[in-house]
Structure formats: C-alpha cells, structure tokens
C-alpha cells in the first residue's frame, strides 16, 4: 500500500534537501573522479533509496509508480550519476524479479536488494542486439539442474558493482519467443566483467561488458517459464522508461532554473539577458515543453497504478521527455553563452549527461515505433 501523505511528503522534502545540499556540491568531483564517493552510497542505503519500488514486506518503501516518479523528479536536480547508484535496484535490475520471481527467489534476494547490500544489473544489450532486443544471441543450454550460459553483453549499467544480474538469454527458437530470463549471481565461475567504458557524459555511472563463459546457472534461477524472457524484459522496460522520463523532467527543471537565474544576473548592452525577447522565447519554449512532459509522466504513472497497460504511454513519456531535456539543455548553453561552454558552470556537463537519455532503455526511434504500433493496435 502507498505511504501515507505525511510520510511521503517528508520523503520528498528529505530527497529534495539531500539533492540540493549534499549532492549538487559534489557534482564536479564525481565528474573528475568518475566515481560516486563511498560515503554517499552508504547514505543512500540508510535513506532507503535502494528500495523505493520494493514492497515493505521485503524491506523496501513500496512506493507506487506515481510516488516513484515524483521522487525521480527530485533526483533530476543533480547529475544523473547519483541516481544510477541505486537506479538499477529500483528499476530494471530488480523489476524482473518483482514481476516474475517465485516466492523463494524474492525471499532470497529482495531484502538485500532493498537494503543496497546487493547491487543489481540488467543484462539485455549485446554487440548485435540493442534496440532489436528479440535478436539476443547469448545462449542458455539446459544441462540437468543447470543452464550453461555462453555469450556477451554490452554497455551494462553498474556491471562492475553488481552482485546479481538479470540476464536475457536464448533457450529456444530465433526471435522473441526463444528468449528466457535468469537471475545470475556475479560470483559464478566463468562470469567476467570488462573495464568501465570511457563515455561522453554521466561520469561516475559505469557501463561495462559482461562475458559468460560456460557459466552454470541453477535452473531454479530462471524467472518464469522458458520463452517468457522477452515479455518480462518489455514489462521491465515499460516501468524503467517511465522512471527515466521523470528524471529527464527533473533535469529540465534544474536547467531552466539555472538559465533563468543566469539570465537575470548577466547583463549585455546595459540590461539583463532576461529582458531580451529572444532569450525569453527560449525560456518560454523550455518551460512549456517541460510542463507538458511532466504532465505526460504523471498521467502515465497514474494509469500504471490503476493497472492499465502503459506500453504506449511509457514510450511516449520517455520519447517526449528525453527529447525535451535535450532541447532544454541546448537552450541553456545558448543562454549562458560562453559560460555555458565552460566546465565551472556545470551546464556543459548536464548537456553531455542528458544526451544518453535518447538512447538507453530504447532509442527515440524505437519509442516512435512502439507508439505507432500501439496506437494502430488500439485503433487510434
């Protein structure tokens, strides 16, 4: 059941203050070190952030989707690397287990995921399977009481920190119906982790290759039945896309606030930038698009909590919000002018950070295909 209104308001206030007073002052350090400080990770554990979406019976906060996106909006007030610390535990790394896990699997893993003792990761993307998720080539072959996994995964978030992977692997025929899902502990023999990739943005949030060399995974670790992996993955991504959309809106709101503050202070031709109508136009466009994105996210979350299918709405929210924050970031750089290109102001960092949102958990082009397919299916 959802938190009572007073408790939830206290949670939002606490997260907002934590973002503003604790996390934002550390943004440049995380960028430079490419690492979130260990004391910050521990503080996040103590705040319960790793268990936002996990039911209270397993030690989590049990937030509804509507509550989760409101927390994600607050988390957008700082570099997305901080959210990534626990983001896989809240979303794609745990939700396959939440949705399709057995009681025994949930009892074994969810309390430790909620506490942050176990970091999770979602291993779907491969060198030849990104947006085309149904073309997974990593194979899982049944051998008595185990499945033997062979293959590799690419660009896997938190892979170097993870204790548990949700892995999509082929157990049968080509296409979506031949994919199954598995819980794979990181310490199983034959599982290897590549070096963190050098990235354009979101420093401090690591992505790595994951290699499976004849990894023996207990058959009891399969999620659901054979052939259900693709369906599980798509359900996980529906929820994950909505969460990411909320983060995009939060970052857009941060960028607008920074741009407005700068435009009021910075003077050109004897008057503040904010007095120039072309600057006002950029602010107006940014504010309007961000308000629309926020409304779309909140509405999709409401539908999710009512039990309605949200494949279309989640895709639309992720598509619109991720494209919006990209445009807002670009305008913010323009309003800041030369200062927007300089690292000290932080705008250029956020400009680089938000570019990834249009790619992961389904590119904008994939979202367009999903939106069109679902609209046609529903008859408009």
- pLDDT of amino acid 130: 75
Assigned token pair, 78: 């700082």
d(CA 209, CA 152): 7
Q: What's the pLDDT tens digit per position in 269-305?
A: 999 999 999 999 999 999 999 999 999 999 999 999 9
Of residues 294, 327, 293, 315, the one with CA closest to residue 362: 315
Decide if pLDDT at 131 tops 80. no
| Residue 324 burial by Cβ neighbours in a 10 Å radius (0-12, 13-18, 19+) | buried
Assigned token pair, 188: 């199983």
How many CB atoms are closer than 10 A to CB 264?
12
Helices vs strands, H then E, count in the chain:
12, 10
Q: What's the pLDDT tens digit per position in 38-89?
A: 999 999 999 999 999 999 999 999 999 999 999 999 999 999 999 999 999 9
Q: How many residues does the chain have?
A: 380
Residues marked active site are found at 361
| Residue 313 burial by Cβ neighbours in a 10 Å radius (0-12, 13-18, 19+) | buried
Average pLDDT over residues 247-259: 98
d(CA 51, CA 91): 10
Homologous superfamily of domain range 5-115: Acyl-CoA dehydrogenase/oxidase, N-terminal domain (1.10.540.10)
| Residue 63 burial by Cβ neighbours in a 10 Å radius (0-12, 13-18, 19+) | buried
Task: For residue 124, report the phi and psi dihedrals to the nearest 5 degrees.
Answer: -115, -50
For the segment(s) 120-227, the CATH number from 1.10.10.60, 2.40.110.10, 1.10.3720.10, 2.40.50.140 is: 2.40.110.10
CATH of segment(s) 231-378: 1.20.140.10
- pLDDT of amino acid 1: 57
Whole-prediction pTM: 0.95
How many CB atoms are closer than 10 A to CB 117?
12
- pLDDT of amino acid 53: 96
Average pLDDT over residues 190-213: 97
CATH 2.40.110.10-classified regions of the chain: 120-227
Task: For residue 171, report the phi and psi dihedrals to the nearest 5 degrees.
Answer: -115, -10
Decide if pLDDT at 236 tops 70. yes
Question: pLDDT band at residue 160, thresholds of 50, 70 and 90?
Answer: very high
Q: What's the pLDDT tens digit per position in 170-180?
A: 999 999 999 99
- pLDDT of amino acid 85: 97
């Amino acid at each position: 059941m959802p938190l009572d209104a007073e408790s939830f308001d206290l949670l939002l206030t606490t997260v907002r203050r934590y973002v503003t007073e604790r996390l934002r002052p550390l943004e440049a350090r995380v960028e430079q070190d490419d690492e979130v400080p260990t004391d910050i990770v521990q503080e996040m554990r103590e705040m319960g952030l790793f268990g936002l979406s996990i039911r209270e019976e397993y030690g989590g906060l049990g937030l509804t989707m509507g509550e989760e996106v409101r927390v994600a909006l607050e988390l957008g007030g700082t570099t997305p690397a901080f959210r990534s610390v626990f983001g896989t535990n809240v979303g794609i790394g745990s939700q396959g287990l939440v949705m399709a896990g057995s009681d025994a699997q949930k009892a074994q893993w969810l309390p430790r995921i909620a506490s942050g003792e176990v970091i999770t990761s979602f291993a779907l993307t491969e060198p030849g399977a990104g947006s085309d998720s149904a073309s997974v080539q990593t194979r899982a072959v049944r051998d008595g009481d185990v499945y033997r996994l062979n293959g590799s995964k690419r660009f896997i978030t938190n892979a170097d920190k993870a204790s548990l992977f949700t892995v999509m692997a082929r157990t049968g025929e080509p296409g979506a119906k031949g994919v199954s899902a598995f819980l794979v502990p990181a310490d199983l023999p034959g599982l290897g982790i590549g070096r963190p990739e050098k990235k354009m943005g979101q420093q401090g949030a690591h992505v790595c290759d994951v290699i499976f060399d004849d990894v023996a995974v207990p058959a009891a670790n399969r999620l659901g039945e054979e052939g259900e992996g693709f369906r599980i993955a798509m359900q996980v991504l529906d929820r994950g896309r909505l969460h990411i959309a909320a983060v995009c809106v939060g970052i857009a709101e941060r960028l607008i606030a920074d741009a407005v503050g700068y435009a009021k202070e910075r003077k050109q031709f004897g008057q503040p930038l904010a007095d120039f109508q072309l600057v006002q136009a950029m602010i107006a466009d940014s504010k309007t698009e961000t308000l629309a994105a926020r409304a779309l996210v909140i509405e999709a979350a409401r539908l999710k909590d009512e039990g309605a299918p949200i494949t279309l709405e989640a895709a639309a929210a992720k598509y619109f919000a991720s494209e919006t924050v990209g445009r807002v970031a670009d305008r913010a750089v323009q309003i800041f002018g030369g200062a927007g290109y300089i690292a000290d102001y932080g705008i250029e960092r956020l400009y680089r950070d938000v570019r990834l949102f249009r790619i992961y958990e389904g590119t904008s082009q994939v979202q367009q295909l999903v939106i069109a397919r679902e609209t046609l299916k529903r008859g408009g």
